[in-house]
Homo-oligomer: A and B are copies of this chain.
Amino acid sequence: MKRFQVVGIGNAMVDVLAPADEAFLAAHGIGKAVMQLIDMPRAVHLYGAIGPAREISGGSAANTIAGMAHLGGRTAYVGKVKDDQLGLIFAHDLRAQGAVYETPMAPADSEQETGRCIILVTPDGERSMNTYLGWSEFLTPDDIDAAQMAQAEWIYLEGYRFDGPASHEAFARAIRACKQAAGRVSLTLSDPFCVERHRAAFRRMIRDDVDLLFANRAELLSMYQTVDLAAALQAASAEVAIVVCTESDKGAHVLADGKHWHVPAIPTKVVDATGAGDLFAGAFLWGLTTGRDLEIAGRMGCIAASEVIGHVGARPESDLRALFARHQVL
């Protein structure tokens, strides 16, 4: 048995969550329901404009790993923070959830700070993300422990982390070490604009290395430059062994071995959509790596997503195993 079921790599950050209305998004030029990268001056400006907020550890792949760890999965995470208060909060929350997290912290006297994501939550529960990458941008191949990657049944790569050239090298190193030890590679496309920025690189990776692809509808359509989801699913499944495409309240599609399962969403009042896709992936990977079949793993994903959209913040608050049991998938 390998030491880790999944090792995730991504942008380490703390979420700063605040309610906002549509007019606020418009007045501040914030694209709804997507992720925008911002620099520190913009982060300071935006933070000064938002209402009272709360801080909860985030980061897409980190949320996925936290979800798996919450379920009792054997996990590790790689992502860069600074030795500052937000960095210590990020590290604490991940370790307290049971994940191994050993990426060296950037020194306390360095100029960049720990990354953060200012998330505006509109009354419809949608989240609009404004990311100051901070130290998470400076993930390099040196931060990748090849031995750890070799101990992973799966690695989980966050598409967002493609926003930084040194990370391409880091991903390549992780993939090499993982594959050499017969591990497998999963990737999440993260965001439609992220796909725009990195379509060619994603495509190469999908064809050459990826065994399991996570995307939502908008991301998959962007990836395959079509408006027809069936066509996009077919194109993806021709390139990747397992394709998982979430479609918010329409549930999720799982494609593998020439089969196509549709898994229904769990009807839920959306309080804050932050982390829905991340927790879907965490639960799916947990199901997959504990021997569940793909459809059950997909149902677990939908249940976990419904938990996390029912409250503010992207980390689980209720016992997911109890929810699985209630929905008779455990």
Q: Which residues of A contact B (CB under 8 A)?
A: 47-48, 50-57, 66, 84-86, 89, 92-94, 96-97, 113-114, 313, 315
Given A53-B92, A56-B54, the answer on whether A85 and B113 have CB atoms closer than 8 Å is yes
23 A-B pairs within 8 Å (CB atoms) are namely A50-B96, A51-B96, A52-B66, A52-B92, A52-B93, A52-B94, A52-B97, A52-B315, A53-B89, A53-B93, A53-B96, A54-B54, A54-B56, A54-B313, A55-B55, A55-B56, A55-B89, A84-B84, A84-B85, A85-B85, A85-B86, A85-B113, A85-B114
Main secondary structure, interface of A, reads mixed
By a CB distance below 8 angstroms, the chain B residues around A113 are 85
By a CB distance below 8 angstroms, the chain B residues around A54 are 54-56, 313
- How many identical chains are in the complex? 2
**Contact for A97 among B51, B92, B94, CB less than 8 A:** B51
Q: Bound complex: CA of A304 vs CA of B52, how far in Å?
A: 17
By a CB distance below 8 angstroms, the chain B residues around A56 are 54-55
Q: A-B pairs with the 9 shortest C-beta distances? A: A55-B55, A85-B85, A52-B93, A54-B56, A51-B96, A52-B96, A52-B97, A85-B86, A52-B315
By a CB distance below 8 angstroms, the chain B residues around A47 are 92
By a CB distance below 8 angstroms, the chain B residues around A89 are 53, 55
Q: Bound complex: CA of A54 vs CA of B92, how far in Å?
A: 11
Q: How far is the CB of A183 from chain B (nearest CB, A)?
A: 27
By a CB distance below 8 angstroms, the chain B residues around A52 are 57, 66, 92-94, 96-97, 315
Q: How far is the CB of A210 from chain B (nearest CB, A)?
A: 30
Complex: chain B residue closest to A113, CB-CB: B85
By a CB distance below 8 angstroms, the chain B residues around A53 are 89, 92-93, 96
Q: How far is the CB of A51 from chain B (nearest CB, A)?
A: 5
Q: How far is the CB of A75 from chain B (nearest CB, A)?
A: 14
Q: Bound complex: CA of A114 vs CA of B52, how far in Å?
A: 18
By a CB distance below 8 angstroms, the chain B residues around A92 are 47-48, 52-53
Q: Bound complex: CA of A28 vs CA of B55, how far in Å?
A: 25
Q: Bound complex: CA of A94 vs CA of B85, how far in Å?
A: 19
Q: How far is the CB of A308 from chain B (nearest CB, A)?
A: 13
Q: Bound complex: CA of A89 vs CA of B66, how far in Å?
A: 24
Q: How far is the CB of A45 from chain B (nearest CB, A)?
A: 12
Q: Bound complex: CA of A307 vs CA of B55, how far in Å?
A: 20
Q: How far is the CB of A89 from chain B (nearest CB, A)?
A: 6
By a CB distance below 8 angstroms, the chain B residues around A93 are 52-53
By a CB distance below 8 angstroms, the chain B residues around A51 are 96-97
